A and B are shown apart, each in its own frame.
Chain A
Amino acid sequence: NAGVMQNPRHLVRRRGQEARLRCSPMKGHSHVYWYRQLPEEGLKFMVYLQKENIIDESGMPKERFSAEFPKEGPSILRIQQVVRGDSAAYFCASSPQGPSGLNQPQHFGDGTRLSIL
């Protein structure tokens, strides 16, 4: 039973390019969460999605960032026109239930390390 799969593990982009980060949740999990970890900091919540729905994007920057979780395929975190400050590790987590079931722990992927040149 595979865990949360994120790819790529490392992504290098130049300023102004687009970055696409993918996350496949654990089998049977329909709730996906994206977090960002800046150097020397803890994880900060960005967005929570269910299939085809964004439930909570209160942690997402208002511009350049978007997320989706289509009916088929992985969840995608998209960053347009990247800047140096976007350099971070981006983690995806999944759970079988939503917030009311936070007693179901979130399982994390190994993250995508994004570096902006």
Chain B
Amino acid sequence: AQSVTQPDIHITVSEGASLELRCNYSYGATPYLFWYVQSPGQGLQLLLKYFSGDTLVQGIKGFEAEFKRSQSSFNLRKPSVHWSDAAEYFCAVGPPGANNLFFGTGTRLTVIP
């Protein structure tokens, strides 16, 4: 079955620490891949996207993600987390030929001083 998995429901990190949020997908072909961030009561803001080419993509706010075909993963990373990064993060995939995006269940990030 096609799916998007974010195995970590909630992650807590200290400000200044590094961050990695995991995302795995299960589709027949390599889909388009996205990371969105959602602050409380807000809509989704696109952080970065992968379509093809270089497997390490840079996004806004200092985020990056690496596509690993062998692991069907697209993990989001940031070397030094800021308190303002506290939010919900969603991984999404757009399978070839699909009319829409499929979202993971999200990872809630808490940043402690």
Contacts and interface: CB of A to CB of B under 8 A. Distances in A.
Contact of B36 (A103, A108, A110): A108
A28 interface: no
A6 B41 CA distance: 13
Given A44-B103, A48-B99, A99-B97, A105 B49 contact: yes
B83 interface: no
A50 B26 CA distance: 28
A59 B49 contact: no
A108 B51 contact: no
Contact of A48 (B42, B100, B102, B103): B100
Interface in B74-113: 90, 92, 94, 97-106
Contacts of B11: none
B56 interface: no
Interface size class of B (residues with CB under 8 A): 20 to 34
B100 A108 contact: no
B32 A108 contact: no
A56 B43 contact: no
Contact of A45 (B43, B46, B100, B106): B100
Most buried by A among B34, B45, B100, B105: B100
Nearest to A41: B105
Nearest to B42: A110
Interface in A56-74: 56, 58-59
Interface string A12-35: 000000000000000000000101
Contact of A103 (B32, B44, B99): B32
Interface of B: 4, 32, 34, 36, 41-46, 49, 51, 90, 92, 94, 97-106
